[in-house]
Each structure stands twice: as C-alpha cells, then as structure tokens.
Amino acid sequence: MKELLTQVHQDLVEEVRSVMAEHIIPRRDEIEDSETIPDDIYRHMARAGWYGVAIPQQYGGRGAGHLARLLMIEEAAHASGAIGGALQSAILGTAMLQFYGSEGQKQHWLPRFARGDDVCSICVTEPGSGSHVMGMKTTARRG
C-alpha cells in the first residue's frame, strides 16, 4: 500500500492526525456520547478543505482523489467514529454529484460543498428496509 501513497496522501494523513489529536480526541467522549458533531468542528473541517478533498480543483476542491478521501476518513475514524462517519456521509454525497450531475449542477454545488458553505449528506435508512438502499421507498419532493 505504501507504494501507492504520494506525498499529498502522506501530508493529508499527518494533517488529519494532528487535527484529531488537538481538537477531537480531547472532546471524543462528548462527541460520541451526545451523538452530535458540534458546529465548530464542522466549520474546522470545512476550513481545512476536508469536504472538498476529492472534489476537482476546477470546482474549488483539493483534487486529491478518492484514495485521499479514504485515507482521511480512516484516520479521522481512528480518533472518533462519529467524525469519520460525518466525513464519509458528507463526501459520499458529493461523489454522486461529481459522477452523475450536470455541468451546471457541478458548477453551482461543488464549490459550495468544497468550501463547506453547504454540507451534503446521505440518508440510507427507513422502516421496512433498514440500510438496504435499493429497498427504500422514500422520495424527496420540494415543499
């Protein structure tokens, strides 16, 4: 695996490890027990560009790719499963837009997600299907 890692990957892992040690591990019990990510932590991850780690640079992201995304989430999850899960759900939603969105949608939304102005997320559970996404019946409609 080490031969696949670039300096960008290694630097990102060190960055995440440092932030986790300084800002997350001291508050891990609070975060895990409350089942809530405090707003200041979301803002910190946004300012660090973590939501945009795999978003191409042309849309304001870091353009580090999906291996970087995986490494970042893995490192964050070592410190806090809640933080790792929050990053995963936010970034997973942006990937769907990158691969399946129109150019107009990408130009509008990806820079906002990369900056953390808006946080994308996913919903993968409902009564009757649990987390079996293909068995879900819920649809979203504008109100």
Contact 31, 38 (CB under 8 A): yes
- Look up residue 100 and give its two tokens: 């399946």
The pLDDT mean for the chain works out to 89
Phi, then psi, of 120 in degrees rounded to 5 = -80, 155
User: What would the pLDDT profile of 101-121 be if each residue is shown by its tens digit?
Assistant: 999 999 999 999 999 888 887
CATH number for the 2-135 domain, one of 1.10.8.60, 3.40.50.1820, 1.10.150.120, 1.10.540.10?
A: 1.10.540.10
- For 50-76, write each residue's pLDDT tens digit: 999 999 999 999 999 999 999 999 999
Q: Where are the domains of the chain?
A: 2-135
- What is the reported pTM? 0.81
CB 120 within 8 A of CB 88: no
132 or 36: whose pLDDT is higher? Answer: 36
- pLDDT value of position 81: 92
What number of CA atoms fall less than 13 Å from residue 91's CA on the CB side? 30
